[in-house]
């Protein structure tokens, strides 16, 4: 009787996945996105999938989760609201001074990101705390009131407040919030001590300003969507993805939109982690390749790696998030020849329009055109026939590069693939080798429209021996929405020397945060048995100015501090190659991640059948793997007809609605009991 629905809004498509609790079936629907009003595509997709399942009603939906890039897009396009700032006297320019670096070392023309608050809307007020929390100068409330009035008359819709040391004592920020609410009650007010009670003033300031700037936009979007869904008859509480890979109810998200802004690719990773864990692969590197970029992240022991922040367009955002690295390499990335005569690919992309040459509107060769030329991709149509392909256009486009290079069309097409593979390999090394992980110990898990097409080549480039392609790679993020938890993060900076004497202080801070988490669980109605807390402590050697997070044991016993110290030394050794067991340790930021189980899709294993895949063979295709050998005929399989237990020997192509998996010569692919394609990379090619 009940259904669970995940809706992921992307730039081109809105993916809808529905899981039927009764039949235990997963249904997938793709509709075109409607960027002017994303809700339209969402409602259409939901209505279509209900019909597809067989005339079901939205009132049967007992769980609804949504992933959106509305926050990210607001930031990238600069379409947030007019925002003001109130800060400590002497520091209004911090927002643009940042850490003092210029944006590009060698490009004198590169611009700094325009601050989200104009200088004229940044007000300083007399007040000053010291690092201990001692008040050196009392807050001048008259100045605050005057600033609030001026901000109101300037027409600002949101006000960010960020004072020095507010993470130690938020009282001045809170008092400022009261005054703003009196003077400008309609304003969306955002306090740095609430959004990010962590030290380092610039990062905290940038984060709270971002939160204020996107706040009203996200708030309106979610409120409107909530209303529309309710009007359609949805009774379940709608949930939304956060950058940390978990979901929270819409209403909770409205207060802390900055925690949504990098949520786009996160559930895809969460879903992949669960699917692969169930399939026996706990250590994976996900590779989500779309039209303009690829997102890469590392999953260790079944858990995605998290980080506490990143930069978006040059502006730091500190917020708990999955550690996802993006590189400008996608199916639409364009090939070009530089002034030294080298073939380069990307980061310029053909985008949705004109798109690759084979779509008929563009002249320049994209990665997709290279795949069409070599017939890695179906040279006639994609998306089950919804998208016509003109191979001649691809050939012409690639030839424009081939002639000046003095190479054949096929050599050039292969060259494009090799160069883009090298670019992606470089990005993959960033999340693995540069963080102390050897990619050869991981399975590569491709998804997105173009991931499975390039995975085998990428795995070879990095010496990885295993690729696992999930069942629905084209709607992985929507799928992940049905496989994630409700999740909230609580943190606080308390710089504390780590010794036996301070054990109780450490325990107290965690107790405070755990109490906040407990209150949140109660508010969200998370069942007692489904609650889980992960406690992390950011530590450093005294005298250093960067921290490493260490996961805390469940219970801190007598030797608790010792256990923590050992864990830190070990982590330091792993990441930096050495540790200093004799050095003094400092605890810096305390973190509690609260997870509550949401209803999840149960993954069902099927019986393995015979190895013979011929039942899924739907034809052959002439494909070129090596220009010296020319085109050779390979078998094309229909993914939906491949059965668990089937074995496919490369070279071969596996087609499904929204993606194509290429097995290079020597690859061996087994369909596992979860219908994943588990590919063992061959020695040759």
Partner 1 sequence: MTTSARATGQLDPVIVEVVGSALSTIVEEMGETLVKAAFSPNIKERRDCTAGLFDAEGLALAQDEGGSPMHLGSLMGIVGAIRGRFSEADIREGDVFIGNDPYTGGGSHLPDIVLASPIFVGGRISAWAATLAHHADFGDRGHAHIFQEAIRIPPVHLVREGVQQEELLSLILLNCQIPEERTADLRAQEAALGVAITRYQELCSRYGVDVIEGVSSNLLDYTERRTRAAITEFPDGEYTFEDLFDAPELDEELTLRVRIRISGDEMLFDFSGNPPQVRASVNVVWTGLYATVYYTLKTLIDPDIVPNAGLYRPVTIVADEGSILNCTAPAAVNGRIETCQRVVDLIHGALVDALPERVTAASNGAVTGVHFSGHDASRGRDFVYLETIGGGSGACHDKDGLDGVQVHMTNTSNLPVESLEAEYPLVVESYELIEDSGGVGRHRGGMGIRRKIRVEAPDVHFWLDTSRQKSQPWGLFGGGPGQSARCVLSEDAQPVDHGYTVLQPGQTASIETAGGGGYGPPEERAEAQLAADRADGRISEATAQQCRQD
> Should residue 231 be labelled a site residue for partner 1 when binding is judged by CB under 8 A?
no
> Should residue 415 be labelled a site residue for partner 1 when binding is judged by CB under 8 A?
yes
Handedness of CA 289, 295, 298, 303 (dihedral sign): negative
How far, in Å, CA of 479 to CA of 275, rounded? Answer: 10
Interface with partner 1 in residues 61-80 (CB under 8 A): none
Q: How far is the CB of 416 from partner 1 (least distance, A)?
A: 9
How far, in Å, CA of 240 to CA of 455, rounded? Answer: 30
> For the purposes of burial, counting CB atoms within 10 Å of the CB of 212, is it exposed (0-12), middle (13-18) or buried (19 or more)?
buried
Question: Left (φ > 0), alpha (ψ -120 to 50) or beta: where does 654 sit?
Answer: beta
> Should residue 164 be labelled a site residue for partner 1 when binding is judged by CB under 8 A?
yes
Nearer to partner 1 by C-beta: 117 or 273?
A: 117
DSSP label at residue 584: -
Round to the nearest angstrom and report the end-to-end CA distance of the chain.
51
Q: Applying CB under 8 A, which of residues 25, 119, 440, 604 lies at the interface with partner 1? A: 119
Piece of 65-73, 75-83, 366-374, 411-419 that binds partner 1 (CB under 8 A): 411-419
Q: Applying CB under 8 A, which of residues 48, 113, 202, 567 lies at the interface with partner 1? A: 202
Nearer to partner 1 by C-beta: 405 or 533?
A: 405
How far, in Å, CA of 82 to CA of 78, rounded? Answer: 10
> Should residue 199 be labelled a site residue for partner 1 when binding is judged by CB under 8 A?
yes
Nearer to partner 1 by C-beta: 414 or 592?
A: 414
**Best CA proximity match to 271, nearest among 315, 322, 219:** 322
Angle between helices 503-523 and 560-576 (to 10 degrees): 80
> Should residue 102 be labelled a site residue for partner 1 when binding is judged by CB under 8 A?
yes
How far, in Å, CA of 15 to CA of 307, rounded? Answer: 27
Strands in 361-465 per DSSP E: 381-382, 387-388, 443-447
Write the CA distances from 277 to 280, 300, 307, 400, integer angstroms.
5, 10, 21, 45
Q: Which residues of 145-178 are buried (b: 16+ CB within 10 A; e: fewer)?
A: bebbebbbeeebbbbbbbbbbbbbbbebbeebbe
> Should residue 628 be labelled a site residue for partner 1 when binding is judged by CB under 8 A?
no
How far, in Å, CA of 352 to CA of 310, rounded? Answer: 27
How far, in Å, CA of 242 to CA of 267, rounded? Answer: 9
CA angle 46, 49, 54 (to 5 degrees): 130
Q: How far is the CB of 95 from partner 1 (least distance, A)?
A: 11
Q: How far is the CB of 191 from partner 1 (least distance, A)?
A: 16
Q: How far is the CB of 516 from partner 1 (least distance, A)?
A: 23
State the number of binding residues for partner 1 (CB under 8 A).
Answer: 64
How far, in Å, CA of 551 to CA of 534, rounded? Answer: 7
> Should residue 92 be labelled a site residue for partner 1 when binding is judged by CB under 8 A?
yes
Nearer to partner 1 by C-beta: 495 or 603?
A: 495
> Should residue 440 be labelled a site residue for partner 1 when binding is judged by CB under 8 A?
no
Q: Applying CB under 8 A, which of residues 201, 288, 295, 658 lies at the interface with partner 1? A: 201
Query: What character string, x for contact with partner 1 (CB under 8 A) and - otherwise, covers 483-502?
Result: ------------x-------
**Best CA proximity match to 670, nearest among 651, 643, 652:** 643
Piece of 101-109, 366-374, 439-447, 517-525 that binds partner 1 (CB under 8 A): 101-109
Q: How far is the CB of 248 from partner 1 (least distance, A)?
A: 29
Q: How far is the CB of 465 from partner 1 (least distance, A)?
A: 15
Piece of 100-108, 263-271, 320-328, 470-478 that binds partner 1 (CB under 8 A): 100-108
Q: Applying CB under 8 A, which of residues 24, 235, 544, 633 lies at the interface with partner 1? A: 544
> Should residue 118 be labelled a site residue for partner 1 when binding is judged by CB under 8 A?
yes
Nearer to partner 1 by C-beta: 343 or 642?
A: 343
> Should residue 590 be labelled a site residue for partner 1 when binding is judged by CB under 8 A?
no
Q: How many C-beta atoms lie closer than 10 Å to residue 92's C-beta?
A: 19
Report DSSP letters for 254-274, one per residue.
Answer: TT-GGGTTT-TTHHHHHHHHH
CA angle 324, 330, 335 (to 5 degrees): 135
How far, in Å, CA of 235 to CA of 124, rounded? Answer: 46
Piece of 35-43, 427-435, 639-647, 671-679 that binds partner 1 (CB under 8 A): 427-435
Nearer to partner 1 by C-beta: 143 or 485?
A: 143
Q: Applying CB under 8 A, which of residues 54, 55, 77, 99 lies at the interface with partner 1? A: 99
Piece of 85-93, 465-473, 641-649, 655-663 that binds partner 1 (CB under 8 A): 85-93
Strands of the sheet with 247-249, listed across from one edge: 26-32, 13-20, 3-9, 61-67, 238-241, 247-249, 486-497, 585-596, 531-541, 548-551
Q: Cβ distance 325 to 300 under 8 Å?
A: no
Piece of 313-321, 388-396, 412-420, 484-492 that binds partner 1 (CB under 8 A): 412-420
Piece of 35-43, 99-107, 233-241, 510-518 that binds partner 1 (CB under 8 A): 99-107
Cis upstream peptide for 651 (omega within 30°): yes
Nearer to partner 1 by C-beta: 316 or 356?
A: 316
CA angle 356, 327, 343 (to 5 degrees): 55
Q: How far is the CB of 402 from partner 1 (least distance, A)?
A: 11
Query: What character string, x for contact with partner 1 (CB under 8 A) and - otherwise, covers 386-405?
Result: -------------------x
> Should residue 418 be labelled a site residue for partner 1 when binding is judged by CB under 8 A?
yes
Q: How far is the CB of 269 from partner 1 (least distance, A)?
A: 23
Nearer to partner 1 by C-beta: 146 or 390?
A: 146
Q: Cβ distance 247 to 236 under 8 Å?
A: no
Q: How far is the CB of 297 from partner 1 (least distance, A)?
A: 18
Residues belonging to the chain:
685
Interface with partner 1 in residues 301-360 (CB under 8 A): 338-344
Q: How far is the CB of 436 from partner 1 (least distance, A)?
A: 8
Nearer to partner 1 by C-beta: 55 or 628?
A: 628
Piece of 173-181, 197-205, 466-474, 609-617 that binds partner 1 (CB under 8 A): 197-205
Q: How far is the CB of 132 from partner 1 (least distance, A)?
A: 9
Interface with partner 1 in residues 570-589 (CB under 8 A): 575-578, 580
Q: Cβ distance 296 to 284 under 8 Å?
A: no
Would you call 307 helix, strand, or coil by DSSP?
A: strand
The 3-class secondary structure across 134-165, one letter per residue, is CEEECCCHHHHHHHHHHHHHHCCCEEEEECCC
> Contact positions toward partner 1, by CB under 8 A?
89-94, 96-97, 99-102, 104-109, 111-112, 118-120, 130-131, 164-165, 199-203, 338-344, 405-407, 411-412, 414-415, 418-419, 422-423, 425-426, 429, 433-434, 495, 544-546, 575-578, 580
């Amino acid at each position: 009787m009940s259904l669970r629905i995940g809706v992921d809004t992307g730039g081109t498509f809105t993916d809808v996945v529905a899981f039927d609790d009764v039949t235990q079936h997963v249904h997938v629907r793709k509709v075109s996105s409607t960027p002017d009003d994303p809700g339209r595509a969402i409602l259409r997709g939901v209505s279509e999938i209900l019909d597809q399942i067989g005339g079901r009603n939205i009132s049967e939906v007992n769980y609804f989760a949504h992933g959106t890039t509305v926050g990210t897009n607001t930031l990238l396009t600069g379409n947030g609201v007019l925002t003001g700032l109130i800060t400590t006297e002497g520091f209004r320019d911090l927002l643009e001074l940042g850490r003092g670096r210029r944006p590009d070392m060698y490009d004198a023309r590169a611009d700094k990101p325009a601050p989200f608050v104009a200088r004229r809307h940044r007000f300083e007020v007399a007040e000053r705390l010291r690092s201990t929390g001692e008040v050196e100068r009392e807050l001048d409330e008259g100045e605050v009131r005057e600033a609030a009035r001026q901000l109101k008359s300037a027409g600002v819709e949101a006000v960010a407040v960020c004072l020095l040391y507010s993470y130690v004592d938020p009282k001045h920020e809170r008092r400022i919030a009261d005054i703003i609410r009196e003077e400008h009650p309609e304003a969306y007010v955002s306090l740095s001590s609430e959004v990010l009670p962590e030290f380092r003033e610039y990062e905290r300031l940038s984060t709270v300003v971002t939160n204020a700037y996107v706040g009203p936009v996200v708030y309106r979007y979610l409120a409107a969507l909530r209303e529309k869904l309710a009007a359609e008859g949805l009774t379940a509480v709608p949930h939304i993805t956060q950058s940390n890979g978990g979901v929270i109810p819409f209403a909770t998200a409205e207060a802390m939109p900055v925690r949504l802004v990098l949520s786009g690719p996160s559930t895809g990773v969460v879903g992949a982690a669960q699917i692969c864990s169930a399939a026996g692969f706990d250590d994976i590197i996900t590779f989500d390749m779309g039209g303009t970029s690829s997102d890469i992240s590392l999953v260790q022991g079944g858990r995605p790696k998290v980080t506490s922040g990143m930069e978006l367009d040059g502006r730091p955002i500190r917020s708990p998030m999955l550690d996802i690295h993006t590189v400008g390499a996608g199916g639409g990335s364009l090939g070009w020849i530089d002034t030294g005569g080298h073939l380069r690919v990307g980061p310029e992309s053909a985008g949705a329009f004109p798109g690759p040459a084979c779509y008929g509107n563009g002249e320049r060769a994209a990665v997709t055109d290279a795949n069409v030329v070599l017939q890695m991709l179906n040279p006639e149509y994609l998306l089950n026939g919804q998208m016509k392909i003109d191979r001649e256009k691809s050939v012409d486009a690639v030839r424009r590069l081939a002639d000046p290079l003095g190479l054949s069309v096929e050599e050039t097409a292969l060259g494009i693939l090799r160069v883009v593979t090298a670019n992606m390999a470089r990005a993959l090394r960033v999340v693995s080798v540069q963080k102390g992980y050897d990619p050869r110990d991981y399975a590569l898990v491709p998804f997105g429209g173009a991931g499975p097409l390039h995975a085998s080549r990428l795995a070879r480039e990095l010496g990885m021996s295993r690729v696992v392609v999930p069942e629905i790679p084209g709607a992985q993020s929507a799928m992940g929405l049905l496989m994630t938890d409700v999740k909230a993060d609580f943190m606080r900076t308390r710089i504390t020397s780590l010794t036996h004497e301070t054990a109780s202080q450490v325990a107290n801070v965690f107790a405070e945060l755990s109490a906040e988490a407990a209150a949140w669980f109660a508010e969200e109605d998370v069942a007692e048995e489904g609650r889980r807390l992960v406690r992390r402590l950011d530590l450093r050697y005294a005298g250093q100015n960067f921290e490493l997070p260490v996961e805390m044991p469940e219970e801190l016993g007598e030797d608790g501090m010792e256990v923590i110290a050992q864990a830190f030394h070990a982590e330091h050794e792993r990441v930096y190659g050495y540790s200093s067991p004799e050095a003094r340790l400092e605890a810096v930021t305390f973190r509690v991640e609260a997870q509550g189980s949401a209803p999840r899709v149960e993954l069902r294993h099927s019986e393995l059948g015979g190895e013979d895949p011929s039942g899924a063979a739907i034809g052959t295709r002439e494909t070129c793997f090596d220009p010296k050998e020319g085109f050779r005929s390979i078998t094309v399989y229909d993914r939906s007809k491949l059965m668990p237990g089937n074995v496919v020997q490369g070279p071969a192509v596996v087609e499904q609605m929204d993606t194509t998996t290429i097995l290079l010569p020597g690859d061996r692919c087994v369909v596992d009991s979860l219908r994943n394609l588990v590919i063992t990379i061959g020695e040759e090619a």
